[in-house]
């Protein structure tokens, strides 16, 4: 899995302020809309619909909001570290401080599941989490997440 093809350094953000999960989804929609030239309201609608099915908070302070977006030709991602952890209604009730947002096209559902699985496994590594949580810049955050991801 070549994660640098899915997430780029310019799509990595730290210190994002959001008081609630629903406000975080709005901010995520705005950032992904700018990054991928897609209407933010379409992204928000799809992220909210997915979140209503069940929380994308996978535990250990991690959330992976994801949605199918019409017109997307390949999976693309945004990596976010929140300024303050927030309640993403994660399965373990731990507040969320890191979100990997994955958008994909309807025709990429098979590929997106592979990406989602790879990201979820990667974000469960204690070493990786420690590195990205102490990163002081977006570049450090990105580098820590991407390190050795081509294997």
- Catalytic residue, chosen from 66, 76, 81, 122, is 66
CA-to-CA dists, residue 11 to 16, 60, 95, 102, 124, angstroms: 13, 22, 23, 11, 21
Q: Is 66 a catalytic residue?
A: yes
111: number of Cβ within 10 Å: 14
Does residue 56 contact residue 48 with C-beta atoms inside 8 Å?
no
Residues in contact with 99: Cβ distance below 8 Å, sequence separation at least 6, in sequence order: 24, 28, 62, 63, 64, 65, 79, 80, 82, 88
Active site residues: 66
């Amino acid at each position: 899995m070549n994660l640098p093809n899915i997430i780029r350094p310019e799509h990595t953000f730290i210190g994002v302020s959001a008081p609630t999960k629903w406000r975080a989804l709005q901010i995520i929609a705005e950032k992904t809309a700018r990054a991928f030239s897609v209407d933010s309201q379409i992204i928000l609608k799809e992220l909210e619909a997915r979140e209503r099915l069940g929380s994308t908070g996978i535990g250990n302070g991690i959330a992976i909001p994801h949605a199918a977006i019409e017109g997307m030709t390949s999976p693309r991602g945004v990596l976010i570290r929140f300024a303050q952890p927030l309640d993403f209604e994660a399965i373990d009730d731990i507040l969320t401080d890191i979100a990997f947002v994955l958008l994909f096209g309807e025709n990429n559902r098979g590929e997106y599941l592979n990406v989602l699985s790879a990201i979820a496994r990667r974000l469960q590594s204690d070493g990786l989490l420690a590195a990205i949580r102490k990163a002081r810049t977006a570049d450090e955050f990105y580098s820590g997440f991407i390190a050795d991801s081509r294997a």
